[in-house]
Amino acid sequence: MGGSSNQQQEKTGRRPPVDGKNPSHRTSGNGKSTLFHEQSLGNAGPDEIMRFILSHGGRTDERQPGPRQPRRNNGRKNGRTALRFIDLFCGIGGFRLAFERAGAKCVFSSDWDRFSRQTYAANFGEEPAGDINTIPVESIPPFDILCGGFPCQPFSLAGVSKKNSLGRKHGFEDERQGNLFFSIAAILAHHQPAAFVLENVKHLLRHDKGRTFTIIKDTLERELGYQVQYKVIDAASVVPQHRERIFMVGFKTARPFAFPKFPAVGPTLASILEKRVPEKYTLTDHLWEYLQNYARKHQAAGNGFGFGLVTPRDVARTLSARYHKDGSEILISQGKRRNPRRLTPRECANLMGYPKDFRIPVSDTQAYRQFGNSVVVPVVERIAMGVVKTLNAAHLQGHNVEQELFARQEVPCNAIVHPTAGLPYRPVNEGHAQTILSNKS
């Protein structure tokens, strides 16, 4: 979900056909068509899954070579080389911020949404590559860590409910987004990186009675040979928002990794709200009346649908990509005499843990979608520091990630503050980087 905005297509809401043909087919370099969108993997065995992965990527496409992206530095500091990572389904760069703060260097990024690429370029000085399915895996530069928040709508509770109501497929059978996990698997199979970090919605664990997650985990462990750990983390410990996401961390060589601990008490909305907010964010009388009637209707029917009215002393619901429609999941109370208001795009950035100087060059509608699809940066940052520490163990002995994080904060992590700003940059040297890569088997 990564930070991913691949969920949102530009104007039509549809993914452009690959090669200009039927979107359920993909043409390989030898001209043969590979059917991948409509394959059902629910009952597939290990051999079928691996054949699917290898057919889904790992080949040369002479028509569209992978683009080389500009780099701002050579990844070296004091004669040492930083760990390299790639940022798939990158959205607006939440994973990138987190891993760069942990001392790693981004060597490739990809997202199919042009508005997200616009925001990414405004903040990182380079535009990501487009649809990962059009990029041959061998054209991706060498890297040590794969990062990806692959699209969550095919697996989310809300997404599945909506697709069911519209008679559409979900999970792996979602024609646009369901098979993007296997793009990740193809890249892992080809490049064999030392580690990966994946993010998705909590409901991934229960989707299709657990079969979807079993296929994903078995593919990563049995077919690709990674040691995998996973954990559901609620971001409310570091930002004033309940946002439960599953994180999967894998290492090619068994390593003593443990997910970081988080504060027991998190911040409130007062820490992210702006003092002066334009009147346009206050709900009109018509919209406010509609939302109240809508809530009463569903409450009478025993449903849980309704708006989320909060004060600066509260913690918000999950910010979703649909927030631009009516803002109903998070409405800020302005007292009894005024209608509530929705969050501003800057407040959404704060709510997701982005820095104050993060640029928002797009419309409010696009900004709401982008932040609603993003990862929470401080959550990923703690995981990133743990992964980098694990891979750089020879150079980080005695370096306690959690102690350094909390030592720089007088209160539990505020969404607006860089929790690791100013921490020492300690990349591995070239010899150790070569050792890491030689251990990949």
* pLDDT on residue 326: 81
89: left (phi over 0), alpha (psi -120 to 50) or beta: left
Render pLDDT for 23-37 as a digit per residue (tens, 0 to 9): 333 333 333 333 333
Give the residue from 239, 237, 233 showing the smallest Cα distance to 265: 237
- In this prediction, residue 304 has a pLDDT band, given cuts at 50, 70 and 90, of low
Q: What are the residues facing 295 on neighbouring strands?
A: none
Percent of the chain with pLDDT over 90: 54
Render pLDDT for 98-123 as a digit per residue (tens, 0 to 9): 999 999 999 999 999 999 999 999 99
Topology classification of domain 269-373: DNA Methylase; Chain A, domain 2 (3.90.120)
- In this prediction, residue 411 has a pLDDT band, given cuts at 50, 70 and 90, of very low
Average pLDDT in the 406-430 region?
Answer: 32
Give the residue from 245, 314, 273, 265 showing the smallest Cα distance to 413: 265
Most confident of 28-37, 176-185, 306-315, 393-402: 306-315
Map tokens 């993997």 to a residue: 41
Average pLDDT in the 291-304 region?
Answer: 84
Render pLDDT for 211-227 as a digit per residue (tens, 0 to 9): 889 999 999 999 999 99
* pLDDT on residue 323: 92
Output DSSP code: residue 223. Answer: I
**CATH 3.90.120.10 domain locations along the chain:** 269-373
Query: Does 401 have pLDDT greater than 60?
Result: no
Yes or no: say if 383 and 334 are a contact pair by the CB < 8 Å rule. no
Task: Provide the CB-side half-sphere exposure for 57 (13 A, CA).
Answer: 27
Mean residue pLDDT across the chain: 76
**CATH 3.40.50.150 domain locations along the chain:** 18-264+376-438
Q: What are the residues facing 251 on neighbouring strands?
A: 195, 227
For 18-264+376-438, CATH number? 3.40.50.150
Render pLDDT for 255-267 as a digit per residue (tens, 0 to 9): 999 999 999 999 9
Yes or no: say if 373 and 200 are a contact pair by the CB < 8 Å rule. no
Distance CA 426, CA 158 (A): 42
Percent of the chain with pLDDT over 70: 64
For the beta carbon of residue 228, count every other beta carbon within 10 angstroms: 17
Active site residues: 152
Q: What are the residues facing 356 on neighbouring strands?
A: none
Give the angle subtended at the CA of 255 by the CAs of 250 and 258, to the nearest 5°.
75
pTM over 0.75: no
Render pLDDT for 66-93 as a digit per residue (tens, 0 to 9): 443 443 434 544 445 899 999 999 999 9
pLDDT top residue among 406 and 15: 406
* pLDDT on residue 111: 96
Average pLDDT in the 146-175 region?
Answer: 54
* pLDDT on residue 216: 92
- In this prediction, residue 182 has a pLDDT band, given cuts at 50, 70 and 90, of confident
Render pLDDT for 320-366 as a digit per residue (tens, 0 to 9): 999 988 888 899 999 999 999 999 999 999 999 999 999 999 999 99
Distance CA 184, CA 175 (A): 16
Average pLDDT in the 372-401 region?
Answer: 82
Map tokens 């509609």 to a residue: 290
Distance CA 150, CA 180 (A): 7
Lowest mean pLDDT of 186-200, 228-242, 317-331, 374-388, name the range. 317-331
